[in-house]
Amino acid sequence: MLYGIVLAGGKSSRLGQDKARLRFKGQDLLQRSVALLQKICPSTWVVGRDASAHGLDVSWMLDDIPGIGPMGGIITALRRLNASCLVISCDLPFLTDKMLARLVDARNRIGYRKPMTVFWDEASGFIESLVAVYESWSLELLESSFKKGCYQLSRAIGPAFRCHVPYSEAEKKYFVNINYPEDIKLLRGMTPSCQR
């Protein structure tokens, strides 16, 4: 079974307001993220906050390891569910269910033998670690990295342990996230910038 996991435990300190509550096309970003995963996964969880505060009737859990960023939420989900997880962050307004389905299809065909299946920018080598499938056995790699004080997902699970799913220059827009006050204009109908 592949669980859907929305990471929603961040403090949004760079944005200055709770990004999960920002609205886009009639939903807040957490509601939208949950809806995307529910199209792909038989069970979806929110990690980092009580989902009912957003009017959502889905299971949720708090981070076991708060304060270390996304790694803490992913470790929490893998520990508690003991299953493979399709993980996304709650601040990706342009992500689509078609992109998620493509990732899961690649995982089901060739990626399940590796701990992580992830979108990959071939030109830069950058991976979209917050739109990825983490197999249950990736927990060992993540916990080992955590114990060493390294919380960077791309370092915790190196290239040899990943199934890479390439994406095009035009598809970068799907991974644009909301981090800074100026990014909020993207939710008001402006074209997303694909600059990193």
Q: Is the pTM of this model over 0.85?
A: yes
The answer to whether residue 109 sits within a structural domain is yes
At 196, is the pLDDT very low, low, confident or very high (cuts 50, 70, 90)?
very low
The answer to whether residue 50 sits within a structural domain is yes
Domain range for 170: 2-188
Q: What are the C-alpha distances in Å from 76 to residues 62, 70, 148, 164, 184? A: 8, 10, 17, 24, 29
Q: What are the C-alpha distances in Å from 185 to residues 18, 64, 99, 181? A: 15, 34, 23, 8
The answer to whether residue 195 sits within a structural domain is no
Return the CATH number at 154: 3.90.550.10
Average pLDDT score over residue span 53-64: 94
- Which tens digit of pLDDT belongs to each residue from 126-165? 999 999 999 999 999 999 999 999 999 999 999 999 999 9
* Number of folded domains that form the chain: 1
Residue-averaged pLDDT of the chain: 90
Q: Which position has the higher pLDDT, 72 or 17?
A: 72
Average pLDDT score over residue span 43-50: 96
Please choose, from the candidates 127, 124, 116, 195, the residue with its C-alpha nearest in 3D space to the C-alpha of residue 163: 116
